[in-house]
């Protein structure tokens, strides 16, 4: 094994997930540049490194050093120090500040920063606020470096180390030694696998109670990520034992011991993550209160009121719509469901108008900002997200809703749209804040994909047969000629769509995945913008059933960006892992961020990139005006490109045009409700690229992935234990 001392000249490639890095190095004492590959805890231009490794010959890239060990030292020359500081390794110091520091302190710059950063005030242009920021960055940098050294070889990234430091402070390493599995439970982005690798290195045995209990939590949460509210204890214990390499009884004992804490065991065999157990029971109990018509006096609309509605508002209703209006005005809770073109929006407008005629205060809400904005545009009334309605408040110890059973929503009637997107926990939070006596109208298309989060709330409410439900099925005359509407209904009924002869629906026959991808790029970037005048970024959305593959989300994103927002000198970039972000990029938030008040699935545009400060700004649309949100470089794992998104992620959204691949390579995801959901996201135009065979497979597959829930049962049978 060879030892070399070198300076990193540039980082050619870096994967932040596994730390695999390719760098160009200048070997000390020579003019030679060499390539090195391996796992680098950090990699910045200007860093001095001592590497241990073996020389290899790559068939394409030639001679490389395969690195086994990495140590870091500080540069000694003025040029090296400036490059090191300019790399952004210390928060608050970029290229211009690095140059000023080295010009003033010379080769003593790093020593000054280490011992007395207040001396930066000697430099012209460095004020108190700036110096305090740099001093704080230095302190945190040293702490993070210590954590990185401790976690070396465990796959922990610099971003992970920063999160660990922010969570545990100076006790970070001590905390990890005591129980590394706390990382999985308490640090976002550090899952069970990383925690388990660290624990193994620290000598924790495979059946250590901390490990088995952490495994129970991990796999139970993984089940909830699939939409389930509970798991069967026998099946779960057997499956998790195999995953952990322990005895089935170890898992069972751990799960039972956690009952009453992190998990809830119901009837001896249903294993719930505790919040979901409380959530289901709470929704059932609160629904029972809201549907108790003895709490208030409700009167359905008179014939005179219905006639006045038509005369004053121009809202002529079909019989089924009238039935929905009467249900909404005669029941504490009612459900309105139906597919596209069946008049749900007109019915909502009628309900609003009649309540307002009676002097009642009506509020409108939806699960996402995009859905709320759609609702507002359709009704002409203000709408807000459920989170805003509940007055979401981030806190140091997490978050809370200001609206709850002690501080209820002030209105007479509340209408919630896109209910298929609402998971069990959000529903529980909403119902806690709805005062008994308030009329609740729930609107959604039950045939859409279920919520991303656990539960199947809308379906369960309907299946319980305890809530007054009206289903609209008639397609109105103005929509009957629409290819989008008619084909959506044909697909939902198991019939093959009319692929040709519709002005707003186009099918492009392509067999090979590369041809499919090429056709999609052409449609989204050239044909539809030219033919229909739609903006390719803001008005056209590419949807794909799967993430991987030639016609998957990840590849299509790269192809679309190169057409719509190519790299240019005037567009600085920030890199994270395999992805770079530049001004003008369409991006999506991939997890809930309670501090920034952005949610999983929110989409926006990168409006500003500051390479000096290593941060960028994303503008997110909002019913009350666009919001600008700042991200530091280490937070970019929360974003992904969104020129193309998955059909699942498109729920609750509406776009002028949708372009969608449907190919046999998507076989595992081809389901009727998936294609139906994708088509119904389009307002004006749908273009599908693929094969008729793939469409036929999807339409025939009417199976809906089963979700293990107990809400319908609790609503029908009651919950004798209460909540």
Q: Please, which residues have CB within 8 angstroms of residue 72's CB and are 6 or more apart in sequence?
A: 42, 47, 48, 49, 50
- What is the DSSP track for 28-89? TTSS-EEEEEEE-S---TT-EEEEEEEEEEETTTEEEEEEEEEEEE---SHHHHHHHHHTT-
Q: Is the pLDDT of residue 296 over 60?
A: no
Give CA–CA dist 107/581, Å, rounded.
35
**Strand 20-27 relative to strand 33-39: parallel, antiparallel, unpaired?**
antiparallel
Nearest partner of 159 among 632, 596, 639, 640, judged by Cα: 632
CB 649 within 8 A of CB 367: no
pLDDT band at 440 (very low <50, low <70, confident <90, very high): very high
pLDDT tens-digit readout, 16-52 = 667 788 888 888 777 778 899 988 877 777 778 888 8
Tokens representing residue 484 in the block: 């989008």
| C-alpha distances in Å from residue 179, one per residue of 152, 199, 205, 358, 532 | 17, 8, 12, 61, 59
pLDDT over 70, % of the chain: 93
CB-CB contact of 34 with 6 (8 Å): yes
Position 295 pLDDT exceeds 50: no
Q: Which residues contact 152 (CB under 8 A, 6 or more apart)?
A: 41, 70
Q: What is the pLDDT of residues 542-585, one digit of tens each?
A: 999 888 889 999 999 999 999 999 988 777 888 876 788 999 99
Half-sphere exposure (Cβ direction) of 195: Cα atoms closer than 13 Å: 26
* Span 251-263, average pLDDT: 92
CB 98 within 8 A of CB 25: no
Total Cβ atoms within 10 A of residue 316: 12
CA distance 144 to 163: 9
Find out whether 263 and 274 touch, Cβ atoms under 8 Å: yes
Structure tokens at 250: 């170890």
What lies within 8 Å, CB to CB, of 673 at 6+ separation is: 447, 448, 449, 704
The whole-number average pLDDT for the span 96-121 is 85
Task: Note the pLDDT tens digit of each residue in 463-504.
Answer: 999 999 999 988 775 566 788 888 888 888 888 988 877 888
Residue 642, pLDDT score: 95
What's residue 211's pLDDT?
93
**Res. 531: pLDDT tops 80:** yes
Residue with tokens 């954590």: 147
The three-state secondary structure class of 111 is helix
What φ, ψ does residue 255 adopt, rounded to 5°? -65, -45
pLDDT of 405 > 80? The answer is yes
What DSSP designation does 524 have? I
pLDDT of residue 414: 95
Q: At what angle do helices 344-357 and 369-379 cross, to 10 degrees?
A: 70
Q: Which of 6-20, 333-347, 620-634 has the highest mean pLDDT?
A: 333-347
575-592 in b/e form (b: 16+ CB < 10 A) is: ebeebbbbbbbbbbbeeb
Sequence-distant contacts of 205-212: CB under 8 A, at least 24 apart = 206/244, 206/245, 206/246, 207/246, 207/247, 207/250, 209/254, 210/179, 210/181, 211/181, 211/244, 212/244, 212/246, 212/250, 212/251, 212/254
Place of tokens 């389930």: 228
Q: How many Å apart are CA 463 and CA 456, to the nearest integer? A: 10
Identify the pLDDT of residue 17.
66
Distances (CA, A) of 82 to 126, 307, 613: 17, 78, 16
Those residues with Cβ within 8 angstroms of residue 21's Cβ, 6 or more apart along the chain or in another chain:
11, 13, 14, 15, 37, 38, 39, 40, 43
Q: Which of 186-195, 365-374, 653-662, 667-676 has the highest mean pLDDT?
A: 653-662
Assign 339 a pLDDT band (cuts: 50, 70, 90).
confident
Phi, psi of 584 (to 5 degrees): 95, -10
Banded pLDDT at 723 (limits 50, 70, 90) = very low
Q: Give CA separation, 694 vs 499, 545, 699, in Å.
A: 13, 12, 9
Cβ contact 45:23 at 8 Å: no
The Cα 241–Cα 233 span in angstroms is: 12
β-bridge partners, 395: 398
More confident position, 61 or 632: 632
CA distances from 689 to 520, 560, 660, 664 (A): 7, 15, 6, 11
Average pLDDT, the chain: 86
pLDDT in tens, 669-707: 788 888 999 999 998 999 999 999 998 998 888 777 789
Query: What pLDDT is attached to residue 585?
Result: 95
pLDDT at 530 over 90: yes
Tokens 């979401």 belong to 392
- Please give the Cα distance from 68 to 119 (Å, whole number): 39
State the pLDDT at residue 322: 87
CA dist., res. 32 & res. 77, Å (int): 18
- Residue identified by tokens 């805890």 is 41
End-to-end CA distance of the chain: 64
Scan for tokens 């009167």, then name that residue.
299
Residue 236 pLDDT: 95
């Amino acid at each position: 094994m060879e030892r070399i001392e070198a300076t990193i000249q540039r980082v050619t490639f870096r994967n932040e997930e596994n730390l695999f890095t390719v760098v160009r190095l200048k070997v000390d004492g020579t003019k030679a540049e060499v390539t090195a590959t391996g796992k680098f805890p950090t990699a910045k231009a200007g860093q001095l490194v001592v590497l241990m490794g073996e020389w290899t010959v790559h068939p394409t890239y030639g001679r490389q050093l395969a690195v086994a060990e990495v140590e870091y030292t500080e540069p000694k020359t003025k040029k090296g120090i400036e490059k090191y500081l300019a790399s952004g390794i210390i928060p608050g110091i970029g290229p211009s500040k690095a140059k000023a520091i080295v010009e003033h302190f010379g080769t003593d710059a790093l020593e000054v920063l280490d011992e007395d950063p207040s001396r930066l005030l000697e430099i012209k242009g460095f004020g108190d606020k700036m110096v305090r920021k740099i001093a704080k960055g230095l302190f945190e940098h040293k702490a993070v470096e210590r954590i990185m050294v401790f976690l070396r070889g465990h796959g922990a990234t610099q971003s992970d180390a920063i999160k660990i430091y922010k969570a545990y402070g100076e006790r970070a390493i001590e905390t990890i030694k005591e129980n590394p599995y706390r990382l999985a439970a308490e640090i976002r982005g550090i899952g069970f696998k990383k925690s388990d690798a660290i624990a193994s290195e620290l000598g924790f045995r495979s059946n250590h109670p901390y490990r088995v209990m952490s495994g129970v939590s991990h796999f139970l949460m993984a089940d909830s990520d699939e939409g389930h509210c509970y798991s069967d204890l026998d099946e779960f214990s057997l499956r998790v034992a195999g995953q952990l390499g322990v005895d089935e009884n170890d898992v069972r004992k751990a799960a039972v011991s956690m009952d009453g804490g992190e998990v809830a065991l119901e009837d001896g065999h249903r294993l719930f993550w505790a919040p979901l157990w409380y959530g289901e029971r709470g929704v059932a109990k609160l629904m029972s209160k809201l549907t108790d018509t003895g709490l208030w006096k409700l009167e359905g609309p008179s014939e005179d009121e219905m006639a006045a509605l038509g005369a004053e508002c121009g809202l002529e209703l079909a019989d089924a719509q009238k039935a929905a209006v009467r249900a909404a005005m005669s029941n504490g809770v009612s459900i309105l469901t139906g597919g596209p073109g069946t008049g749900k929006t007109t019915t909502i407008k009628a309900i609003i108008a009649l309540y307002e005629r009676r002097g009642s205060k009506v509020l409108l809400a939806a699960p996402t900002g995009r859905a709320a904005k759609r609702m507002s545009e359709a009704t002409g009334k203000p709408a807000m997200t459920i989170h805003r309605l509940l007055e979401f408040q981030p806190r140091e110890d997490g978050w809370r809703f200001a609206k709850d059973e002690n501080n209820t929503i002030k209105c007479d009637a509340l209408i919630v749209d896109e209910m298929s997107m609402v998971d069990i926990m959000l529903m529980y939070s909403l119902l806690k804040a709805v005062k008994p006596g308030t009329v609740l109208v729930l609107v959604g298309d039950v045939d859409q994909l279920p919520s991303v989060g656990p539960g199947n709330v809308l379906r369960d409410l309907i299946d319980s047969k305890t809530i007054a439900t009206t289903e609209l099925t008639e397609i109105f005359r103005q929509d009957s000629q629409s290819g989008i509407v008619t084909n959506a209904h044909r697909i939902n009924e198991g019939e093959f769509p009319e692929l040709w002869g519709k002005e707003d629906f186009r099918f492009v026959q392509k067999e090979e995945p590369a041809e499919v991808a090429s056709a999609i790029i052409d449609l989204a970037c050239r044909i539809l913008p030219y033919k229909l005048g739609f903006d390719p970024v803001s008005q056209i959305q590419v949807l794909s059933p799967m993430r991987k593959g030639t016609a998957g989300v990840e590849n299509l994103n790269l192809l679309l960006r190169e057409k719509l927002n190519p790299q240019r000198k005037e567009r600085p970039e920030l890199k994270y892992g395999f992805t770079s972000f530049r001004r003008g990029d369409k991006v999506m938030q991939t997890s809930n961020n309670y501090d920034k008040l952005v949610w999983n699935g929110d989409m926006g545009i990168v409006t500003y990139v500051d390479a000096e400060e290593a941060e960028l700004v994303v503008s997110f649309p909002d019913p009350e005006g666009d919001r600008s949100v700042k991200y530091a470089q280490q937070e970019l794992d929360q974003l992904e490109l969104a020129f193309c998104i998955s059909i699942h992620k498109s729920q609750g959204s509406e776009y002028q045009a949708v372009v969608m691949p449907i190919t046999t390579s998507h076989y595992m995801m081809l389901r009727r409700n998936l294609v139906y959901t994708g088509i119904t996201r389009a307002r004006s135009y749908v273009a599908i690229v693929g094969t008729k065979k793939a469409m036929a497979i999807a339409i025939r597959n009417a199976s809906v992935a089963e979700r293990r829930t107990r809400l319908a049962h609790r609503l029908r049978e009651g919950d004798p234990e209460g909540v």
